[in-house]
Amino acid sequence: CPHRDHRSRGYSDVFSSMAAAPSNVLKRLQKEVAMIASNMPEGCTAGPEDDNMYKWTACVLGPKSSPFAGGKFHLRLTLPKDYPFHPPAITLTTKTYHPNVNNEEGSICIGITRDEEWRPTCTMRDVVQAVYDLLVSPNPDHALDAEIADVYIKDKKKWEKTAREWTKKHANK
């Protein structure tokens, strides 16, 4: 997925832009950027947006084993000032036919990003992996779109067909 991330600039550019951050956050994010560079799930990218270490972009390629195969799903991740003690906020900017996505707001329901499930040991890589996993295995019990969840539960073939159509229409950018 082409987008601006840490690989489009040198590591030193990303890290120099983080100089205003508290040293513990800076060290943590330096480790995360390095981890992402060497250990990201296949088809996924993530990194700081422009020169703001609290704003990240990510892209997840639709898993081959899902109706989202072939799609590119773009995310914005906003880290709180007290990261890693609280989770980032995620906005899915790609319109997606999924029970756990609210297309009006771009919100996505993933357990790891809820305060009660987040742990300071979680990383941005873990967040991107959770989005990938949710594309493979929707969770209609925690739906943000009740109508899509209803189709998923009652007529999975229809849901898969519509999800493929939406992927082709909205997730090829």
The catalytic residue positions are: 109
Residue type, 101: V
Identify the DSSP state of 99. T
CA-based nearest residue to 71, from 47, 46, 96, 91: 96
Strands 101-102 and 89-92: unpaired
Helices (H), 58-142: 124-136
d(CA 144, CA 170) in angstroms, rounded, equals 19
State the sign of the Cα–Cα–Cα–Cα dihedral 142, 144, 147, 148.
negative
Token pair listed for 15: 């890290």
71 by Cβ neighbours in 10 Å (0-12 / 13-18 / 19+) ranks as buried
